[in-house]
């Protein structure tokens, strides 16, 4: 069998190396273990070799200013600032005089209001909450809009889903038709669109309140005369009726007449069946009606001469 011969450094060579390498060099130098310009490779075997580069940093290059300024063995004395003139030290919690329950309740009411206990020491309303507390707690926030109490009633005629085709696709919305009225001769029709049904109804109610009109009626709560009107493809016919007849109409026409306060009338949809157009056609027909007193005043004659 072939044997592999390994060479080991002798004691003389190791002694020579120890003499050449200084233990604490004074400058940053590359220590070479031979007289040649190339660094010497220390090899303990004939098969592998490792480069040896030894560097040293000067003591002056290390930042030790922090340790030179502060002495860890030095005793540091606390020097608090001087107290201002008229300074009164606060009393401890367990020292008298103690605050009464009335003073505590008074201070609490100034901060949080009177609703926490049901009793008011400052004359506030115990059933009313402060606006700051409403914002902080979220109670009574305007996320859900309250109904407007102005004497008008709302009636939803129709809610439909509509789609708008755009370049990027389709936008789906809800369209609501709302009729508002006080049943005393004032009525309005509004339309609103939104992503949610509730928002669409609210927008439609606001739009209807912006378009309030006055319906001419007689003492029998009916129309003064017959009339017809159209809006778009819808055409509506309205006729007065005797007391006790009621409202004989259908669809959006009936809703508009009921919200206006008409109790005896006849209505008929002659054209399109579109709810919005029929409601607006009813509004147009009512707007063009006139009272006999207004016509007599415009003509400058008494009302008795109108039927001659």
| Residue 273's CATH number | 3.30.230.10
Q: Which of 214, 247, 262 is the last residue of a domain?
A: 214
Tokens of 286: 């009512």
Question: Do 291 and 268 share a structural domain?
Answer: yes
Question: Do 272 and 233 share a structural domain?
Answer: yes
State the CATH number of the domain containing residue 162.
3.30.160.20
| 18 within a domain of the structure (yes/no) | no
At residue 20, the pLDDT reads: 52
CA-to-CA separations, 12 to 2, 18, 22, 149, 280, in angstroms, rounded:
30, 10, 18, 112, 118
Which among 7-11, 64-68, 144-148, 200-204 has the top mean pLDDT? 200-204
| 143 within a domain of the structure (yes/no) | no
**Which band of pLDDT confidence, cut at 50, 70 and 90, is reported for residue 230?**
very high
**Which of 54-68, 125-139, 193-207, 256-270 shows the lowest mean pLDDT across its residues?**
125-139
| 45 within a domain of the structure (yes/no) | no
Burial of 255 (0-12, 13-18, 19+ CB in 10 A): buried
CA-to-CA separations, 89 to 6, 81, 83, 120, in angstroms, rounded:
88, 15, 10, 33
6 compared with 243, residue with greater pLDDT? 243
99 compared with 49, residue with greater pLDDT? 99
Report the DSSP pairing between strands 227-231 and 234-240.
Answer: antiparallel
Question: Do 181 and 231 share a structural domain?
Answer: no
Expressed in angstroms, the distance from the first to the final Cα of the chain is: 150
At residue 171, the pLDDT reads: 92
**Residue 197 structural domain:** 153-214
**Which band of pLDDT confidence, cut at 50, 70 and 90, is reported for residue 148?**
low
Q: Which of 214, 235, 258 is the last residue of a domain?
A: 214
CA–CA gap between residue 201 and residue 157 (Å, rounded): 10
CA–CA gap between residue 96 and residue 81 (Å, rounded): 29
Q: 3-class DSSP state for residue 174?
A: strand
Handedness of CA 280, 193, 261, 254 (dihedral sign): positive
Helices and strands, number each (H, E), in the chain: 8, 10
| 122 within a domain of the structure (yes/no) | no
How many domains does the chain contain in total? Answer: 2
**Which band of pLDDT confidence, cut at 50, 70 and 90, is reported for residue 139?**
very low
Residue 22: pLDDT over 90: no
Question: Do 233 and 210 share a structural domain?
Answer: no
| 288 within a domain of the structure (yes/no) | yes
| 262 within a domain of the structure (yes/no) | yes
| 185 within a domain of the structure (yes/no) | yes
Q: Which of 167, 187, 214 is the last residue of a domain?
A: 214
CA-derived radius of gyration, the chain: 49
Residue 196: pLDDT over 80: yes
At residue 304, the pLDDT reads: 84
Question: Do 240 and 202 share a structural domain?
Answer: no
At residue 33, the pLDDT reads: 44
Question: Do 171 and 210 share a structural domain?
Answer: yes
| 231 within a domain of the structure (yes/no) | yes
Question: Do 207 and 239 share a structural domain?
Answer: no
At residue 277, the pLDDT reads: 95
Question: Do 235 and 188 share a structural domain?
Answer: no
CA–CA gap between residue 172 and residue 161 (Å, rounded): 7
**Which of 17-21, 71-75, 187-191, 197-201 shows the lowest mean pLDDT across its residues?**
17-21
């Amino acid at each position: 069998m072939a044997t592999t011969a390994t060479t080991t450094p002798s004691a003389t060579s190791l002694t020579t190396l120890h003499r050449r390498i200084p233990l604490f060099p004074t400058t940053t130098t590359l220590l070479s273990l031979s007289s040649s310009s190339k660094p010497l490779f220390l090899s303990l075997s004939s098969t592998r070799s490792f480069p040896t580069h030894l560097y040293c940093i000067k003591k002056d290059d290390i930042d030790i200013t922090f340790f030179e300024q502060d002495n860890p063995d030095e005793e540091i004395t606390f020097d608090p600032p001087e107290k201002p003139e008229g300074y009164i030290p606060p009393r401890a919690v367990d020292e008298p005089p103690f605050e009464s329950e009335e003073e505590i309740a008074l201070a609490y009411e100034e901060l949080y209001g009177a609703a926490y206990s049901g009793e008011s020491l400052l004359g506030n309303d115990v059933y009313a909450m402060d606006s700051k507390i409403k914002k902080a707690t979220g109670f009574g926030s305007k996320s859900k809009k309250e109904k407007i109490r102005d004497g008008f009633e709302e009636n939803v005629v129709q809610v439909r889903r509509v789609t708008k085709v755009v370049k990027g696709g389709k936008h789906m919305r809800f369209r609501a038709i709302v009729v508002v009225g006080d049943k005393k001769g004032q009525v309005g029709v509004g339309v609103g669109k939104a992503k949610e049904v509730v928002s669409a109804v609210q927008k439609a109610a606001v739009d209807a309140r912006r378009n309030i009109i006055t319906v001419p009626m007689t003492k029998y709560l009916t129309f003064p005369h017959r009339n017809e009107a159209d809006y778009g493809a819808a055409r509506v016919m309205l006729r007065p009726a005797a007391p006790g007849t009621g409202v004989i109409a259908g669809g959006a026409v009936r809703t508009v007449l009921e919200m206006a306060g008409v109790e005896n009338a006849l209505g008929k949809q002659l054209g399109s069946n579109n709810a919005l157009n029929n409601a607006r056609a009813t509004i147009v027909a009512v707007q063009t009606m006139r009272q006999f007193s207004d016509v007599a005043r415009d003509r400058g004659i008494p009302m008795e001469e109108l039927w001659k």
